[in-house]
Amino acid sequence: MSVPVSGSPSPGQRHLAASRQARFSPRNKFRERPPKQILPIAAKYSIVTAVLLITFLVWVGRASYDLSVDATTQQIDRSGIQMALLLAVSTEPFWEDTDLPDAEKLVAQKNLENRLRSFVADPGSKGVLDVLVLDASGNRFIASAQEGDKIRLQSERTIAVDLARESGVVIRTGTIASGGVSQPVRSYQRSILDGDTVRGTIRVFLSAAGIERLEKDLSSTTIGTVLAALFVGLPLALFVGFFLTRPVRALKQDMAMVAHGDLSHQSQVRTSDELGMLAHAFNRMTQNLSEAQEREVERQALERELSIANRIQSALLPEKLPEIAGFEMACHYLPAKEVGGDYYDVIPLSGGRFGMVVADVSGKGIPGSLVMTMTRGLVRMAARTQSGVNDLLTIVNESLSRDMTRGMFVTLAYAELDPALAQISVARAGHNPPLLVQGDQVGALQPDGIALGIDPGDLFCSNLKVQRLELSPGDALILYTDGVIEAMDPQENEYTTARFVEVLRGTSGSSAQSIVDAVVEDLRRHVKGAEPSDDVSMLVIRRLQDSRS
């Protein structure tokens, strides 16, 4: 007597176990604290804009300052150079004339001073502080327009100007103290020449206060402009920044709502720029997340359903097959990933008889498992009260037809064995024909019958037939479901009845367990690791070789 195949976990069961373990196992969740916001984007934009604006204004102010000061300075320098040149040419060096009497030299000096005063008083000589005439050494005072022998430059320094070098004029800058007030001055010095001989020196002193005032005015203007830009431009930049970043703030709020679980939320940002594209991508992302969440909920519900159905199915299958004198039995059951409604059973009957059932419910999941449970209960109950195969299946069909959901049905193969007589009665309700293995011959038992649950009365009874036969020593009867012959490889090619029969032909003289093993191994080679799309159920009853009738 062979022992039934032990219930090792199937690929479908392993998948469910892994799913449950992954779902209920603790997970390490990394919770990143949100970054602390110091400045919003609008403020950063405003600050950068203000800095750029102020930098630009300072640069423009500095450039204007330099241009204006240079222009004013050049204008003063041109006037000073022209005056120095004019006076140097028009002044006679009488002090160098040794033959001239002193009285005449005094007259000449007075005339020179009068001319210098007239020159300074002339409206065209505006800004002239004084004009000095010195001897060739530059140390002896000759004449001045305004007591210039007392004028002294403080912090005097010589400056280089191209126009001055070309005209032979030396320009110096410094300050003079007048009435306790320091005044900026520029002096223009030109030699009085007699041919190539230096006879004296002319020094024209011009006020540089205009330059100083201009510098102060330009500095004040620049500072005022910068302050105006700071106090007016910064708020304006802030306003513009906050206006331009409204879509960013809206997207931030949208993301916060999605982060709190509202995957149905859609952003209302509708701009024709990168932010609009970002909002569109955000909406598409939330829609995908919502659909993924729905799929995940459906998947988890399906897994729970499959788990419940598996437990129901496993609880209803026999833990072990009974031992029957003169016979041996073996079975194989492989559940699909999507739980079907297959079941097999061996029922002890009165008089030492046994009823063997293999059935397939049309539904899947929990509905299929519930119908399978109901069918198993009805068959077992009818087997205790009904003595004939016809009566048993008729009672089961009547009960199922009353309670069966529309569109569902059950196919079933039933074999009643009388071990004492080695006789077996076979009926099938729309099920695959049982196969009889006799040596190397395999025949199909095809008594008529429609599926259970389709018709509650006369049609079922009129179509139901029972086929009776005697099993010779070595004969084997195979009950199976369509999951065997419809098992598919990765290319979706079915196993087929022909290949099943061919394998059975090669099991002549083999034990029931060997027959099961041969079929299972050939199925394994065919499917090449593909997940079964339907339950695979098979029950083998074989008469032993040394049994006697």
pLDDT at residue 218, as a whole number: 76
Q: Burial-class residue 489 by CB neighbours within 10 Å (0-12, 13-18, 19+).
A: middle
Q: Say how many C-beta atoms besides its own lie within 10 A of residue 459's C-beta.
A: 12
Greater pLDDT, 179 or 81 = 81
**Sheet bearing 170-178, strands edge to edge:** 141-144, 128-135, 197-207, 181-194, 170-178, 154-159
| Residue 222 and residue 58 in contact, taking contact as beta carbons nearer than 8 Å | yes
- CA torsion angle 447 448 452 457 (round to 10): -130
Q: How confident is the model at residue 468 (pLDDT cuts 50, 70, 90)?
A: very high
322, 324, 330, 333: CA torsion to nearest 10: -30
Six-digit token string for 433: 């024909």
Of 12-16, 141-145, 513-517, highest mean pLDDT = 513-517
Per-residue pLDDT at 245: 74
Tell which residue, 425, 358, 329, 430, has the closest CA to residue 386.
425
Nearest of 352, 340, 323, 503 to residue 411 by alpha carbon: 340
- The span from the CA of 121 to the CA of 329, in Å, is 143
pLDDT at 102: 85
Contact 91, 193 (CB under 8 A): no
d(CA 434, CA 495): 17
Best-predicted range by mean pLDDT (18-27, 138-147, 346-355): 346-355
Print the SS3 string covering 131-160: EEEEECCCCCEEEECCCHHHCCCEEEEEEC
The pTM is what? 0.53
pLDDT of residue 147: 64
Residue 30 or 171, more confident: 171
* Whole-number Å distance between alpha carbons of 122 and 113: 14
Of 91, 288, 122, nearest to 202 by C-alpha is 91
When pLDDT is averaged across residues 180-198 and rounded to a whole number, the result is 85
At residue 363, the pLDDT reads 74
pLDDT digits (tens, 9 = 90+) for 273-285: 777 788 778 788 8
Residue whose tokens read 């040394």 = 546
Whether the pLDDT of residue 253 is over 60: the answer is yes
Task: Return the minimum-mean-pLDDT range out of 249-258, 373-382, 416-425.
Answer: 249-258
Confidence of residue 23 (pLDDT cuts 50, 70, 90): very low
Judge whether residue 201 has pLDDT over 80.
yes
- Greatest mean pLDDT among 149-163, 222-236, 367-381 lies in 367-381
3-state class of 228 per DSSP?
helix
Can you tell me the distance from the alpha carbon of 9 to that of 18, in angstroms, rounded to the nearest whole number? 12
User: Residue 264: its pLDDT value, please?
Assistant: 79
- pLDDT on residue 88: 86
What average pLDDT does the structure give for the chain? Answer: 83
- What pLDDT, on the 0 to 100 scale, is given for residue 20? 45
Where exactly are the structural domains of the chain?
42-216, 318-543
What type of residue is 503?
Answer: V
Structure tokens at 229: 């830009």
CB-based contact 360:341 (threshold 8 Å): yes
pLDDT reported for residue 35: 65
15/123: higher pLDDT: 123
Domain 42-216 architecture: 2-Layer Sandwich (3.30)
Judge whether residue 24 has pLDDT over 60: no
Residue 28's φ and ψ, nearest 5 degrees, are -85, 110
What is the percent of the chain where pLDDT is above 70?
A: 89
**430: which DSSP letter?**
B
H or E stretch at 37: none
* DSSP conformation letters of 239-265: HHHHHHTHHHHHHHHHHHHHHTT-TT-
Amino acid of residue 212: E
Cβ pair 453, 378 in contact under 8 A? no
Residue 438 CA to residue 477 CA, distance in Å, equals 9
Q: How far apart are CA 228 and CA 225, in angstroms?
A: 5
**In the CATH scheme, what architecture does the domain 318-543 have?**
4-Layer Sandwich (3.60)
pLDDT for 22: 47
Burial environment of residue 34 by CB neighbours within 10 A (0 to 12, 13 to 18, 19 or more): exposed
pLDDT band for position 309 (50/70/90)?
low
Edge-to-edge strand list for the sheet holding 354-361: 341-348, 354-361, 410-418, 423-429, 466-470
Q: Which pLDDT tens digit goes with each residue over 90-141?
A: 888 888 888 888 888 888 888 888 888 888 888 777 778 888 888 888 888 8
Which whole number is the average pLDDT over 308-324?
80
Which stretch, 27-36, 202-211, 228-237, 344-353, has highest mean pLDDT? 344-353
| pLDDT at 519 exceeding the cut of 90 | yes
